[in-house]
Structure 1
Amino acid sequence: MALSMESHSNHYVPAQGYSDKRQLEAPRVNVPPPELNYKDGKPTFQVQPVPFNQISEQYGNPGFLRALVSSNTLDMTHSMLTWQYEMRRNAQPILPFLFLGPSSVARDATFVKDAGITLLVAARSSKSVRTRKSFLDPATFASSTGIATGTLDFDHPAEFISLVKPVIKAINDHLEATCTSTPHLTRIRGKVLIFCESGNDRSALLTAAYLMIVYGIEAIAAIQMIQSQRFSITLSDDMKNVLLDLQAITSAERQVSDANAAMTSLNDAPGRDLAAPPRPSTKRNIDDFYTSDEEMGDGLEQMESANSRGGVAPFVDADG
C-alpha cells in the first residue's frame, strides 16, 4: 500500500499552490491611538457624536435619546499617563452615567452604594451559565439589594448583534426612568455598571456597542473612548469585526430614518397633492411583451453558458 501511494505522488502534482495559513482567522483590525491634544499637560481628545435621529423605539424612547445625546459632549482625558496595573481591579466611568469594570467591583456593596449605581448589567458566557445557572448573576449579589439588574449571555461574538438590542433598550429605559427632566436632561440620577469577569472583553464589547448605537460613533472611535478610560481592555479581532458589522447596521438604520423623515416632510408639504405628477400606465403593450421575452431568453443562455463551464482539477499529471 505504501508503494502505491508513493507511485501516485510521483505521477501527480497540485494544480494550485497550497497555504498552511489559518484561513478562518478573523481579519486583523488595527486600532490606532486617537489624535491627542495636551491641555494643561493632560492628553485629551474629542469624539463627535451624531444626533440621534431614529423614530423607532427599539433602543428606547427616541425623544429621551435625542436629549441624552445632545446634552453630552464626548470630551475625553486619556489615562495613558496615569494608568497603573492595579487599576484594572476598579471600575472606570466611560460616561458620567456609564461605568465599566470587573465582576469583583459589581460584588462590592460599598462601591455600588458610593458610586450611586442603580443598574448592574453582566456580560456572561452562555456556556458558563449552562454549567452554573447563577454564574455572574447580579441578582444574586448582596450588592444588588434594591437596584435593577440585567444580563447578556453569548459565547461567540457572532451571536452578539442579534442579542444586544434589548439590552441597550433596557439600559436606556432605566436611565429615562431616573431622569427628572427629559427635555433638557438636567439630571440623570441613574448610573449603570457593565461588567464581566475581567471587565476587559465581553463587557467592553457591550459598552462599545452602546456608544455606537446611541451616540452614532464608529467602532474605532468607541474602542478608543473606552481604552482611554480603561487602558486594560483586550478586545479580540473577532469582537472588533463584530463592532465593524454593527457599525454598518447602525449606519444603515440611521440612513433609513433620515430617508423616512425626508419622505414624511415631503408628503406633509403644502400643495403636495396638487403638484403630484400623473402616474404612468402600468399596462404593457405588444412591443414590451416581446422585448421582455427576448431579455429572458438572453438570461437563460447566460445561465446555460455559466453552468457548462468546467471546474479546475485539484491535481494534474506531473509530465503535462
Structure 2
Amino acid sequence: MSTGAHGNLTEGMSEDQLRDLIQGPGDIEWRYEMRRECQEILPGLLLGPFQVSKNLQVLQSMGVTHIVCIRDAKEAFSVRPRFPEHFKYLTLDVEDNEEQNLIRLFPGARQFIDQAIAQGGRVLVHCNGGISLSPAFVVMFVMQHYRLSWEDALHYVQNRRYCISPNGGFLTQIKEYESIYKATHAVASYPQQQRVVSRRKREDDEDEDEPRYDVKRPSRAGTTGDSDAMQT
C-alpha cells in the first residue's frame, strides 16, 4: 500500500486533518510497560520489540502474518525468526550504530511490507528493543506512505509508540531519505506526454545540427541537347 501505487494519501487534507493524523489517538495513556508491547502504526503495520515476536499466542491474536526481523549481527543467536512455519519473515542483519547504512536496506523492507499489506496481511517490524533500529525503518516507511516531512513522520510514529528514539546517525539518514523519496516521486509523476515531447524536440534539434547537402540533378533540357548533338 505504498504511495507510489495509491497516490498521495494526504492530498486534499486540511491542516487540522493532517495535524490530527500526525498526533494520532489522543486517548492513549502511555505506560512504561508498553515498551515491551507492540503498537499499530498504520493499518496492518505494527512496531515493537523482539519480546513480542517470541510469543506465538500474542502474534496470532493480533493477526500477524509477516515479520520483519531487524537485528545486530551479534544478536543473531537470539534475535531470530522463531515461527517460520506460521509467519513469513524478512531478516535484516545490521549494526545498531551511527555508521550503519539503513537507506540501502530500506527498499527491500518497504517492498516486503507493501506486498504483505496489499495481500491483506499484518506486518510486525521489530528489532531487539524497538527503540532505535526498527523505528528508523518504520519512520521512513510512514514518510513515504503519507508523503510527510521527516519531522512529521517521526512525530507520527512517536505519537503511537512513545518510547522510540533513533540514534543520531539514523536520524541523519531519515532526513536524507526525505529528499530521496521526493525526488523519486517527482521523476515518476513527470507527465509521460511531456517526456515524449521533450525527446522529440531533442531529436529534432539533433537533426537540425546535422549538415545538409543539396544534390544537383542534370536538367532534362541539358540531357536532350547532348543527345541531339550526338545524333548529328
Partner of 1:195: 126
**Do structure 1's residue 95 and structure 2's residue 53 form an aligned pair?**
no
- Which residue does the alignment assign to 1:213? 144
Same amino acid, percent of matched pairs: 21
For normalisation by structure 2, the TM-score amounts to 0.74
Correspondence 1:301-320 to 2 at 5 A: none
SS in 2 for 1:235: coil
User: What amino acid sits opposite 1:244 in the alignment?
Assistant: K
Q: How does 1:221-260 map to 2 (within 5 A)?
A: 221-259=152-190
Alpha-carbon deviations, 1:35-94, whole Å to 9, x = none? Answer: xxxxxxxxxxxxxxxx934xxxxxxxxxxx317948xx9734355861111111111101
In structure 2, runs of 5+ residues without a counterpart are 11-16, 212-232
Residue 255 of structure 1, CA deviation: 1.4
Consecutive unaligned residues of structure 1, counting only runs of 5 or more, are 1-50, 54-64, 179-187, 268-272, 285-320
CA contact (8 A) 1:100 1:195 kept: yes
CA distance in 2 between counterparts of 1:238 and 1:277 reads 45
Residues in 2 aligned to 1:80 and 1:245: alpha-carbon distance in whole angstroms: 33
Rounded to whole Å, the distance in 2 between the matches of 1:102 and 1:81 is 19
- The separation in 2 between residues aligned to 1:148 and 1:66, in whole angstroms, is 24
Note the alpha carbon deviations across 1:97-151, whole angstroms, 9 max, x for none.
111111111111111011000011111113x15xxx444112xx14x53221112
CA 1:148–1:255 in structure 2 vs 1: closer, same or farther (change >3 Å)? same
The equivalent of 1:167 in structure 2 is 109
- Contact 1:213/1:250 (8 A) holds in 2: yes
- Structure 1 residues 81 and 115, CA gap change in structure 2 (3 angstroms): closer
**For residues 283 and 223 of structure 1, do their structure 2 counterparts lie closer, same or farther at Cα, with a shift above 3 Å needed?**
same
Offset, 1:261 = 3.4
Q: Which has the higher mean CA deviation after the structures are superposed, 107-116 or 77-86?
A: 77-86
Number of equivalences: 199
Runs (4+) of structure 1 moved beyond 3 Å?
67-70, 78-81, 275-278
Residue-by-residue CA offset, 1:230-255 (whole Å, 9 max, x unaligned): 11111122111110111111111111
Identify the residue that residue 80 of structure 2 maps to in structure 1: 137
What's the counterpart of residue 279 of structure 1? 205
Is the contact made by 1:121 and 1:149 (CA closer than 8 Å) also made in structure 2?
A: yes
Rate the CA distance shift 1:262–1:85 in 2: closer, same or farther, 3 A: farther
| Equivalent residue, structure 1, for 2:57 | 110
Provide the residue aligned with 1:287 in structure 2: none
> Which residue number in structure 2 is paired with residue 184 of structure 1?
none
Distance in 2 of aligned mates of 1:171 and 1:235:
20
1:80·1:228 contact (CA, 8 Å) conserved in 2? Answer: no
Separation of aligned partners in 1, 2:132 and 2:24: 22
Higher helix share: 2
**C-alpha distance 283-206 of structure 1, shift in aligned 2 (>3 A):** same
Aligned-residue CA RMSD (Å): 3.2
Match of 1:48 in 2: none
Change over 3 Å in CA distance of 1:276–1:243 after alignment to 2: closer
Distance 1:276 1:124, change over 3 A: closer
